[in-house]
Amino acid sequence: MLKQRIITALVLLPLAIALLFYPGLKVFSLILIPIFGIIAWEWSRLLQTNTFVKTLFIVIVLAALGGIYYWLTQREFFEYPTIPNNWTEVHPFKLLMVSIMAWVVAFVLILLYPKAGRTWLRGPWIRALFGVVFLAAAWLAIVLIRSTDILQNHFYGGWLLLLMFVVIWGADVGAYFFGKTMGRHKLAPVVSPNKTWEGAIGGLVTATVLSTIAAFFIGLSFSLSWFVLLAVILVVVSVIGDLFESMLKRQAGIKDSSQILPGHGGLLDRLDSTLSVAPFFIVALLIFQHGFSLSL
């Protein structure tokens, strides 16, 4: 199993690196849409409903992505990728704050599972609503991260995305190995029995160290001490994303979202933490650059 996971990762890594760095912003954004369409299809399997509702969900997600893309096009964002100082008051950037609030609700549902969690997640509609918000916001967040300073340095946003993935991958790898060797105390036994506190702490330390080293070499425009705090927050958020998908899969009675990636399951299984981390990461960057005022 581990060997198969490594082979799949080695095959996909060059493709992922090429996608992060080389396409222009518009092409990059368009390539992401079918990728998120696949994730939407995998999320639809968590809805426990009929084919019509699943198809409708996928169509709504793709329509939401298309709508945001059209919105950005109308703002000439792809030609002049700037974000206004009052970004919390401007569509479609408001979606980022909506997503963060939804992740807070998701965290509460994880804590309350299985009692209250099963009540709130009964039927497909709440799970579908979460899916639309999370997928649309993550797509927007990834596009915005990639757009950072792109007119001055085409590759800078790609480095930021890679830094985000270092946080997520570091947390995953650290949690896996620390959990295997030292894991004793269950983190969330009802939601994900294999996760332990030792693994979570090991993942936190691993991700923070690796991402801080990576941030130093990238040359961020803010202090490394500020980034260490951000990295810790992002690791916690990545665990929430992972646990939320695990909760939905447990509710749906399935092990993996699909079998697209040998040894890894589906794209959603690999990118569940990305759905939660990306909005938090770009909001942190925007707060650092523009400040913050909440107006939904």
Rounded average pLDDT over 81-92: 82
Task: Say which residue, 173 or 132, is predicted with more confidence.
Answer: 132
Asked if residues 218 and 205 have their Cβ atoms less than 8 Å apart, the reply is no
Residue whose structure tokens are 């209250």: 116
Asked if residues 135 and 275 have their Cβ atoms less than 8 Å apart, the reply is yes
The two structure tokens encoding residue 276: 């939660």
Q: What span, in angstroms and rounded, lies between the C-alpha atoms of 192 and 200?
A: 12
What are the two backbone dihedrals, phi and then psi, of residue 261, each rounded to the nearest 5 degrees?
A: -105, 105
Residue whose structure tokens are 């130093």: 216
Predicted pLDDT at 2: 57
Predicted pLDDT at 118: 67
Count H helices and E strands in the chain, helices first: 10, 2
- The helix or strand, by DSSP H or E, that contains position 264, with its residue range, turns out to be none
Q: What span, in angstroms and rounded, lies between the C-alpha atoms of 69 and 130?
A: 20
In a 3-state reduction of DSSP, which class is residue 289?
A: helix
Asked if residues 278 and 164 have their Cβ atoms less than 8 Å apart, the reply is yes
Residue whose structure tokens are 């639309």: 132
What are the two backbone dihedrals, phi and then psi, of residue 47, each rounded to the nearest 5 degrees?
A: -80, -15
Q: In 3D, which of 73, 40, 43 has the Cα closest to residue 59? A: 40
Residue 133 has pLDDT above 50, yes or no: yes
Neighbours of 162 (CB within 10 A): 17
Residues 98-128: pLDDT tens digits?
999 999 999 999 988 887 666 677 778 999 9
Q: What span, in angstroms and rounded, lies between the C-alpha atoms of 179 and 202?
A: 8
pLDDT category, 222, cuts 50, 70, 90?
low
Rounded average pLDDT over 291-296: 50
pLDDT category, 224, cuts 50, 70, 90?
confident
Predicted pLDDT at 13: 84
Asked if residues 160 and 214 have their Cβ atoms less than 8 Å apart, the reply is no
118-127, 200-209, 273-282: least confidently modelled range: 118-127
> Mean pLDDT across the chain, nearest whole number?
89
Question: Percent of the chain beyond pLDDT 70?
Answer: 93
Q: How many CA atoms lie within 13 A of 209 on its CB side?
A: 8
Residues 56-82: pLDDT tens digits?
999 999 999 999 999 999 989 999 998
Residue 167 has pLDDT above 90, yes or no: yes
Predicted pLDDT at 296: 45
11-15, 135-139, 156-160, 286-290: least confidently modelled range: 286-290
Q: What span, in angstroms and rounded, lies between the C-alpha atoms of 11 and 18?
A: 12
Predicted pLDDT at 24: 95
In a 3-state reduction of DSSP, which class is residue 85?
A: coil
The number of angstroms, rounded, from the C-alpha of 192 to the middle of its chain's C-alpha atoms is: 19
Q: What span, in angstroms and rounded, lies between the C-alpha atoms of 249 and 42?
A: 11
Residue 221 has pLDDT above 60, yes or no: yes
